[in-house]
Structure 1
Amino acid sequence: MTSTHFDVIIVGAGPFGIIAAKTYLELNPIASLALLETDTSLGGAWSKSRIYPGMYSQSPLGMIEFSDVPMKPTPQHYKNCVPAHHVHEYLASYVATHIYDGKSIRDRIHLDTRVVSVQKWYGPPDGAGNRSGRGGSAWVVGTDRGQTIICSKIMIAGGITSRPYIPFFNAPDFTPPILHTEDSARLAPTLMEPGCVRNVIVIGGSKSAIDAVHMFISAGKQVDWIISDKGSDHPGMCVAGRAPVYFKRSHRILSTRLMSKLSPCIFQPPDGWMRFFHQTRVGRWTTNTVWSTMQSAWLKAARYGRSGDMSSLRPQLPMFWRSDDIGVSNPHNFWRTMSQANVHRSSIDRVENSSVVLANTTTLPCDLLIMSTSWEVTFPFFAPADASTLGLPQILEAAADRTILSMFPKLARPPNFDRHPVNTTQFYIYRGIVSPRESREGDNSIVFLGQVGAAQSFHIAETQSIWAAAYLMGKLRLPSVEEMEMDIALTNAWRRRRYLSVGERKLTFMHDELAYVSMLLRDLGINHKRKYGRLKELFQPYSNKDYRGMLEEWRMIQKEREQDGETETVYEESRTSSPGIAAL
């Protein structure tokens, strides 16, 4: 890296960072921009170091691509889900072929460069002696290579799977290696050798645990799978090729506007559909029937009753309440392979020597311990003062919780579930992208991208990138700070009610992605109803091609507004996108 001054720094070179760079450079082609990536390979979750044997995408072709460049089909697909290396190759080609001011996006990515500090530098104080963003500010970024980089704007695009969480075991005599699933992918070629390890223990019920179990059983290892006996830790697995009604794929029905209306979601305007499905007896019966029908179809395909171990994998929480632990059984012979795991529904009492002792006194031999224990949603590189400034008090959320329950009564009666301890404070950002406190200071120099739990991340990344670019360029007028704080409180109360334990830890909306994208498009003034005709809009599944041309649409809107003398984009539906604000 020859320069230490940039217009824009992007932290992270996964899908969110890549499309953020592309969008910003489309609008500002001569801007000096760099992406800093900790890994030795671009791609984030699709980097070479995180791809393990047999890893497939959880989204089919048409949903795991950017709208301007379709992903090429591959004969290696399984029910239109593609091998992970195919996704990596797509991203590598994407950054190499998008060139601005003589430099490709690939030329701007600095690999093996970890950001260790991000601190805000304020300009001279104003006439009243206050130091704020209005007086000019910059961000000072430090890396593990000893570099100090100064930039005018910064995008944090590391995503929610950047820092693995590994529980602490006070067992100095425990000899087997303890790895997070992130490391198991990198070390897979060695670990899967016949003479390396034999007895593998996988802890956790998430999708990454499912992948690890499948990988090691396929390699001929003896796998013991420990899943907590608490309600929310059951793995939730869906089937790519089984969906009710006339849809051929499960992803297709979940990508319809109708299913978006059937989920109690705060991102949608309070139209007649929302009132019918969630506030009338007949509507709630219809909603429950549709969700139950889908769940029955997926459970039937798994045949959980084929063995005792398989019956232990049967999800306890209904599909309606599940979030980012839903996966797609895309490999060949998936269920037959999974049925070979020894499943233990128990907590761990202790680890010692080369064994793991469960709370039910069962002792398991162990050569390798794999932790599928989620990720830490933290930003350790921020200075404490800046981290505090980017936060938001929780004072409004009691009233917000009452509002959510009045809008969606079903959320007041969740099933029994285990509340995982939350070891970090909440991170409060409007729309999942910007800090209200920065806006209070008149500073639009920082955005957060990819801090959401969702399945169809590519079209969310693309929409967020346009919203973020508009904000950074001063083309987006936000509501008042008070309105943003109420909106954040309402969203946080909703996600905790809607997605239970996972919703308490992070912004997640597995069944509400279409509504979230539509909300961002309404903010931008872009038409969010991308189908032609009411029936198609309601029943036809959305794919990434439906969002083709979004950036050009926004450019045309800006051009028309500039001709009319407007200098900023106004939130035409900012209040309707969060229907509970008026009630608050």
Structure 2
Amino acid sequence: MAKHPCHSGSGDIGALHNRCQAIARMESSFSVFGSRCGDVTQPSRAAGRLGWNGLINAKTYLDLAPEVNLIIIDQGTSFGGVWGADKIYPSLYAQIKFGQFEYSFYPMRREGITNDGYISGETIHRYLTDFAHDFHLAERTRFNTSVTNVTRLPNGRGWRLDVEGEGNKVVECAKLIYASGATSHAVIPKWPKSNFDAPIIHSQETGTHLGALAKVKRVTVLGGAKSAFDTVFFLLDAGKKVDWVIRPDESGSGPVALMPPTIFGIVNSMDVIATRFMATIGASIMATEGPGYRFFHQTSVGRMLGRQFWKLVNSIAERHSGYSRTPNAEKLRPLPHGNGIFWANAGLGAASVPNFWKVFHAGDCTVHRTGIKSFIDNKVHLDNGTQVETDYVVLCTGFDKSYHTFSPELQRTFGLTTDLDPADKERWAKAEARAEEAVDRKLPTLRNPPLSSGQVESSAHREAGSNHGPSRHYRRLIVPGMAAEGDRTIVFPGFIHSIYTPMVSEVQALWGTAFLLGLLDPPGQAEMEREVAEWNVWARKRYPAQGRKHAYAIFDFLSYIDTLLKDLGINTRRKQNVLAHLFLPTYPRDFHNLLEEFKEAQERTKLQQSGMALEAAPGKTSASGSLVLPVVIFLVIAVPLATWLRSGTY
């Protein structure tokens, strides 16, 4: 067997630790690994590609430990992750505005942009490929390789990675970054099937079936996620007849809630979401300080205004979608009816592709609110007794977490599964009971979510295809028990669901690398476990179905970024005054000096520890400015606008 350059072959783990520091990360369904003698970055065993999380983790580790000899292992043949060359198709657009979907220090070329400002899949793929080449990650990459199993070396002194593909069969390393991301492991349900010749594919395979799909006339699409909306649009725009199957409300989480691409054709919807005002009014567990929080969440007047604001947003979205135009479109109204945007029960998206709703309303699409029973005699048999003829089936059934490379025992150790030992189950149950009291106190709006816990819990498990819920990781990155014991050998970035993927990935990479290199000290185990329990309780109350399955933060990415930056000693105020800070959209370019700021923070900490006087951090200003003017603006504009929209006279 050929030896990895980081593997001495001597079995001397102490020597290995001194000679090599390895990172490993799972991208999509792969994993990325790196070491001082040979870093390895690889996506795990499903159809994944090296994307946002893997690339920035590799670069950030190299920035802080430049002596590392990084090797990137990837099962695929191209960079991009979910934006890999074989996963994109002509009508696939990111649901986020140009300028917001990039790393802070690496601007995206202005190409492939819609009139509303949304970015094509081709543009994103080129961006990530260019990034890999410009930062010399491409020459470190081994494609067509996968990691099949991850185990701990004796005495917990490192990791053994079983590798299939080009090169070595075994890699031993001291540290592992397991960043397979949120869209790594496709969920493919099983149904009875006989005498059924039509192809059945997962939505991630659409890009490799374009030729075959062009030749068919009728396609069945299953699922209510954003990928289903994208797939249905692609098929309708190509003139296909579509049967769209979404489970009924009583047994599923329903269709995703969709924002319009712009508000009244003036302001891009993602610019609105990318303001800290949205984090303040959106009931984030990470934004529970300051006058804005106290007004909107701790006073009855503030909560009333918050409810009116979200009803206004929901009204704008529903009028744009036109759910009430036909009984068919009505079946796509998100849960809970009347406030689906705020709760984002099945998730939140944006109608980023041009003319989405126009194409849907004009296209030959039948929405079936039922489930699939079987595939028999070349027909799709539905639970309600309907039989549908089809030439193709596309499963938009989402993704599970790619933890399959770890044994069940390690999954329990790492907080990756709900299948706990009795003692741990009781301990976490008590922690979550205390956390529920804290969440209800801090965010009374979430005290009684509108959907029954039984419905969303059943739906969440069925959709996920496993018993995996949100992981028990401090800051969504590290295992509390291991970190408390001084174990800095593993982090888990990329498992948080957020529309600001590049920026969240960048800050997670800096936090995770700082932890691995001993440049960041987390609190004690009790405090870390309190934070974990509070997050998971909050997530399932804030986003009833999605929050049970994932670390979901669709409206909360800025408050999450701020939390990590505070841990790193980096100033979170990126605007010049309080109004700009609250109401202007935050772009990645606002964070373009993070690495330098982190190094300055490290120097300030060293000086502080040595007892030397410190000057205030450059540009740091108080974030506690008065909210009197913002509240007046809200009252003067939002309330009359809500009344006007409800009147239907415009």
Fold in common (TM above 0.5): yes
Asked whether the equivalents of residues 207 and 235 of structure 1 are also in contact (C-alpha less than 8 Å), the reply is: yes
Summarize the alignment of residues 434-453 of structure 1 with structure 2, pairs less than 5 Å apart.
434-453=478-497
1:496 to 536, 540, 551: 540
Residue 286 of structure 1 deviates from its aligned partner by 0.9
Unaligned runs of 5+ in 1: 99-103, 123-130, 568-584
Deviates more, 1:555-564 or 1:198-207: 555-564
Tell me what 1:115 maps to: 147
Asked whether the equivalents of residues 255 and 335 of structure 2 are also in contact (C-alpha less than 8 Å), the reply is: yes
Asked whether the equivalents of residues 203 and 227 of structure 1 are also in contact (C-alpha less than 8 Å), the reply is: yes
Secondary structure of 2:99 counterpart: coil
1:296 maps onto 2:328 in alignment: no
Q: Which amino acid aligns with 1:116?
A: T
Q: Which amino acid aligns with 2:151?
A: Q
Tell me what 2:173 maps to: 151
Summarize the alignment of residues 181-330 of structure 1 with structure 2, pairs less than 5 Å apart.
181-192=203-214, 194=215, 197-230=216-249, 232-242=253-263, 248-317=267-336, 318-322=340-344, 325-330=347-352
Summarize the alignment of residues 157-168 of structure 1 with structure 2, pairs less than 5 Å apart.
157-168=179-190
Deviates more, 1:412-421 or 1:313-322: 412-421
Question: In 2, distance between residues paired with 1:526 and 1:27?
Answer: 16
1:385 maps onto 2:406 in alignment: no
- Deviations 1:287-337, CA, capped at 9 Å, x for gaps: 111111111112111222333322222223221000663222222322122
- Deviations 1:95-139, CA, capped at 9 Å, x for gaps: 1111xxxxx1111222221111111113xxxxxxxx4x5xxx111
Secondary structure of 1:370 counterpart: strand
Secondary structure of 1:466 counterpart: helix
Secondary structure of 2:21 counterpart: strand
1:409 to 431, 444, 447: 444
1:23 maps onto 2:60 in alignment: yes
Deviates more, 1:27-36 or 1:520-529: 27-36
- Deviations 1:248-274, CA, capped at 9 Å, x for gaps: 111111111111100111112433322
Question: In 1, distance between residues paired with 2:352 and 2:468?
Answer: 36
Deviates more, 1:179-188 or 1:388-397: 388-397
Query: What is the TM-score of this pair, normalised by structure 2?
Result: 0.80
Asked whether the equivalents of residues 437 and 481 of structure 1 are also in contact (C-alpha less than 8 Å), the reply is: yes
Asked whether the equivalents of residues 4 and 150 of structure 1 are also in contact (C-alpha less than 8 Å), the reply is: no
Query: What is the TM-score of this pair, normalised by structure 1?
Result: 0.89
Residue 189 of structure 1 deviates from its aligned partner by 2.9
Secondary structure of 1:332 counterpart: coil
Highest RCO, 1 vs 2 (Cα 8 Å, sep ≥ 6) = 1
1:51 maps onto 2:123 in alignment: no
Secondary structure of 1:48 counterpart: coil
Residue 492 of structure 1 deviates from its aligned partner by 0.6
Question: In 2, distance between residues paired with 1:323 and 1:512?
Answer: 15
Tell me what 1:141 maps to: 161
Secondary structure of 2:262 counterpart: coil
Secondary structure of 2:22 counterpart: strand
Secondary structure of 2:244 counterpart: strand
Matched residue count = 545
Tell me: CA distance 1:323–1:80, structure 2 relative to 1, closer, same or farther (3 Å). Answer: farther
Asked whether the equivalents of residues 323 and 510 of structure 1 are also in contact (C-alpha less than 8 Å), the reply is: no
Tell me: CA distance 1:170–1:4, structure 2 relative to 1, closer, same or farther (3 Å). Answer: farther
Tell me what 1:577 maps to: none
Asked whether the equivalents of residues 273 and 555 of structure 2 are also in contact (C-alpha less than 8 Å), the reply is: yes
Unaligned runs of 5+ in 2: 7-19, 28-49, 612-650
Deviates more, 1:434-443 or 1:348-357: 348-357
Residue 154 of structure 1 deviates from its aligned partner by 1.2
Tell me what 1:3 maps to: 4
- Deviations 1:45-83, CA, capped at 9 Å, x for gaps: 111111122111111111111111111111643411121
Q: Which amino acid aligns with 1:518?
A: D
1:505 to 549, 561, 564: 549
Question: In 2, distance between residues paired with 1:279 and 1:562?
Answer: 39
Tell me what 2:138 maps to: 106
Deviates more, 1:77-86 or 1:385-394: 385-394
Question: In 2, distance between residues paired with 1:323 and 1:528?
Answer: 29
Question: In 2, distance between residues paired with 1:71 and 1:399?
Answer: 45
Asked whether the equivalents of residues 118 and 353 of structure 2 are also in contact (C-alpha less than 8 Å), the reply is: no
1:432 to 470, 473, 476: 476
Asked whether the equivalents of residues 324 and 455 of structure 1 are also in contact (C-alpha less than 8 Å), the reply is: no
Question: In 1, distance between residues paired with 2:153 and 2:582?
Answer: 48
Residue 472 of structure 1 deviates from its aligned partner by 0.6
1:336 maps onto 2:358 in alignment: yes
Residue 4 of structure 1 deviates from its aligned partner by 4.0
Deviates more, 1:234-243 or 1:481-490: 234-243
- Percentage of identical aligned residues: 30
Question: In 1, distance between residues paired with 2:113 and 2:593?
Answer: 30
Question: In 1, distance between residues paired with 2:324 and 2:412?
Answer: 51
Deviates more, 1:554-563 or 1:516-525: 554-563
